[in-house]
Structure 1
């Protein structure tokens, strides 16, 4: 019996002359299937027109136009089903070449048995498999670099304690094989699959990655990284950190969207935190009060749940600074932060949220950075740790480190929902250094990232006032009071324990802009 060819989402049963998409046969004719099978078998190598004609029309004299018509039919079917056009390349005056995903040859009995395997159950937390990256360099010796990249990414993801990560030994069985992401999800029992490619050209390396929801086939995240390749190992570390830093918030967003579709009564403590997360991240008093009601439910179900305590600390921090500077909120923020630290020694996110509350509301920046450094020891790619740490550094009067940490956080997660806070830290740092144009630019980026957050307009008003653009500064100040009617900069500086030199300079600018002390 002839073997079965699998490539991308397709499978050819050569003996039957049928092209399948998953388990469904396609309307491709038998001659076109024979042509496609020969091209796929020769994957990446040119196939002459004569060889193709002999495969599909053995011992027959036919016009070349028949070949052209059949190749066009193959291209049309592959593109229509996959949504991608790049499968078969025309080589003028020479023939054709298959340029799609690498093919695997399977024994039909084994292929049938594999398809009949029952899917593994999904874990009770987000789960991911990182597939071997394709080496597109045209140099087999570069396989080690692609494999090392995947190893680093798996190691980085494994440090995220809320994420179930399939071990390398299980995912590398797919190396060089055509992959159907949905099938891999069933075989490995994971919800998400990360696949990618590496292309090394001269002194440059391009890494592409895409994260796919294996249950639906939908893309969750995709990105491309271009770097110079002077130091291969440093390059692997750099890109692995960037990929992991970008994937973590993307996964959280995907999980939050998934939980929103679940019936509320089916939620456990983890799902309740996910449901609360968008309201926590909003930084808006009305929304964080809604989040707190959910987080209280989560903590009632699991009193030692560090992430629930960390998010509750952030909610009370928001209410303290934006809803009247009530001492009860400050104390609750610190109390939940301490619980998050006590129960979350292996949870980078819980430590990060707790460190922020301890630094901002507890005014203990040394303790805050003990928590931040512990979080980074667990997960070096934690973008939020760098972002929230940069805010603590900014208000603490350490402008250079504030800018450095904020830039690192944005590099790890350029589209993070907390990006506005990183830009705030940059605005504070540049303002403190007297670089008012840069401060203004950073503040504008913060406003664009989160136009409902009053502190973004505080930074903008101060920078504009220093630049002598008083009309614009007063407009920004008016927006502050519209969003936060009880705002007084003196009380706000006291609330975050603003460094004295920064408080003096920033306060003078805000007074000029028309904000009350």
Structure 2
């Protein structure tokens, strides 16, 4: 991922095509951002007109006046916000040169975290983040095993009603980095941080864990567990139970027992689902197709494996909406979702994925929320339930609740890779309520969170069109078709059963932006 460029009061995310003033996106159009990015990267060095034109209009023959107009827009935006006029110098007959404040670069993951998640206050109940465990096996192929161990610990802790648990999608933003536990506590808004390591050698697994009070840096609990690998599920329960016990020694036995849950009988099936998970979460057709191969093998080994069915439903949902709206994918999504519900009454993640497919592809929002509510009853800290639920609510026209659920999901998982979906739901909600500036802001955040997903640009194009910013709306619409050439908004609305009033308003805006019906 490209680095974030920082200069003066600005941040420029070239991959997302957005210039930010502090944490807020500016209205600078995509071509202007491309020009500014090239100038800033070459700070102090002349950049020719030809190089600039190629950056913003690749392989196109255009008049120099187009470049002049875009450079003027850049200068105007920088000057209006900063109060300083001298950012870009004109070099007659040669080109332009950036002469503004010093340019620095930053890690895009951390920049995204800063933009999306200001420091958070502690919840009014015990709160914990489980960081990725270090793989000490000397075999990078065992990373998935260490990650799966952490996933199950988080899932176990999430089943405790009184405990606020940060989702793994946020804690895994820290993977592979040395961290300051106190800083993690501040960034994620939690009191406790669990960190540890996994060493798997032959048939033996050794796990060490330590629980730290992030407000003081004091170690609350530390333990080492040695088990045979076939006993890995008992090991995961031991760690979850010990952690909960350290946070609240007076925890009733009934609450402790809630951590334990049914496990898949086949270790091989479990391994296959762990290996498929990153491709499922990508939401990209080519990757989910790969994931389906592993998931189908897991289901063949264990036909009643709810989480395998839930992930398969998400894969077919992705293929349905993003690879041609084929009825076979919609039917497969619903079929796997029903299997996940039938076999996953104690699995919050399986119920969440199934609910989303039932709501989006099966067009049964009542059944979807029965599944979501069952998931939250099991795991009240399930960020993904709130995020995916907010999407179903947004397309259903339940604007206020969509925004509420999306905000709750982002609070539970501030750095979530599914954040783009939560911001999409916010954009839909604000758009439906006629709050187009707020819709535009949420859409920009969605684009920044996932610049590869076409639906993020759909919301942006609609909001910009309603604001009368037609040049920018058309640029966002062009990006939709670049990412999803067969996109037709009428078919898309039908595919997700968009609420009629919302479909009418969105359709009007997208038509103005230049997207085909």
TM-score normalised according to structure 2 size:
0.53
Q: Distance between the aligned counterparts of 1:212 and 1:364, measured in 2? A: 47
Number of residue-to-residue matches in the alignment:
306
Rounded to whole Å, the distance in 2 between the matches of 1:211 and 1:447 is: 41
Q: By how many angstroms is 1:294 displaced?
A: 1.0
Match of 2:286 in 1: 286
Counterpart of 2:312 in structure 1 is 312
Structure 1: runs of 5 or more not aligned: 1-121, 131-148, 161-178, 200-205, 216-235, 238-265
Q: Which moved more, 1:343-352 or 1:272-281?
A: 272-281
> What does 1:238-257 correspond to in 2, within 5 Å?
none
Mapped partners of 2:405, 2:147: distance in 1: 34
User: Aligned partners of 1:208 and 1:376: how far apart in 2?
Assistant: 32
Return the structure number with greater relative CO, CA threshold 8 A, min gap 6: 2
**Aligned-residue offset at 1:304:** 0.6
CA contact (8 A) 1:276 1:295 kept: yes
Alignment of 1:330-479 (within 5 A): 330-479=330-479
Residue 510 of structure 2 is matched in structure 1 by 510
Match of 2:9 in 1: none
In the alignment, the residues of structure 2 paired with residue 371 and residue 153 of structure 1 have an alpha-carbon distance, to the nearest angstrom, of 18
Secondary structure of 1:276 counterpart: helix
Distance 2:343 2:200 in 1: 32
Separation of aligned partners in 1, 2:198 and 2:516: 62
Match of 1:193 among 200, 209, 216: 209
Instruction: Please state whether the residue corresponding to 1:193 is helix, strand or coil.
Output: strand
Within 5 Å, which residues of 2 pair with 1:29-44? none
Give yes or no for contact 2:465–2:509 (8 Å, CA) kept in 1: yes
Structure-1 separation of matches of 2:327 and 2:403:
30
Aligned 8 A contact 1:354 1:371 in 2: yes
Q: Deviations over 1:453-474 (max 9, x none)?
A: 1000000000111111111111
- How many Å separate the matches in 1 of 2:511 and 2:207? 53
SS in 2 for 1:195: strand
The 3-state SS of whatever aligns with 1:397 is: coil
> What is the Cα deviation at residue 305 of structure 1?
0.5
Structure 2 residue matching 1:191: 3-state secondary structure:
strand
Offset, 1:286: 1.1
Q: Offset at 1:356?
A: 0.1
Distance 1:495 1:183 in 2: 44
Pick closer, same or farther for the CA change 1:192–1:451 going to 2, 3 Å.
Answer: farther
Per-residue deviation, 1:191: 3.4
Secondary structure at 1:268's aligned position in 2?
A: helix
Structure 2: unaligned runs, 5 residues or longer: 1-144, 169-193, 226-246, 249-265
Instruction: Return the alpha-carbon distance in structure 2 between the equivalents of residues 345 and 151 of structure 1.
Output: 13
Give the whole-Å Cα distance in 1 for the aligned partners of 2:195 and 2:353: 38
What SS does the aligned partner of 1:476 have?
A: helix
SS of aligned partner of 1:196: strand
Q: Give me the whole-angstrom Cα distance separating, in 2, the residues matched to 1:180 and 1:495.
A: 43
Displacement of 1:181: 6.0
Quote the offset at 1:185 in angstroms.
12
Rg comparison, structure with higher value: 1
CA distance in 1, matches of 2:377, 2:386: 12
Residue 267 of structure 1 deviates from its aligned partner by: 7.5
Rate the CA distance shift 1:277–1:184 in 2: closer, same or farther, 3 A. Answer: closer
Q: Residues 435, 303 of structure 1: CA spacing in aligned structure 2 closer, same or farther, 3 A cutoff?
A: same
Distance 1:315 1:210 in 2: 41
The Cα RMSD (Å) is 4.1
Name the SS of the counterpart of 2:487 in structure 1: coil
Map 1:55-94 to 2 at 5 A. Answer: none
Secondary structure at 1:126 match in 2: helix
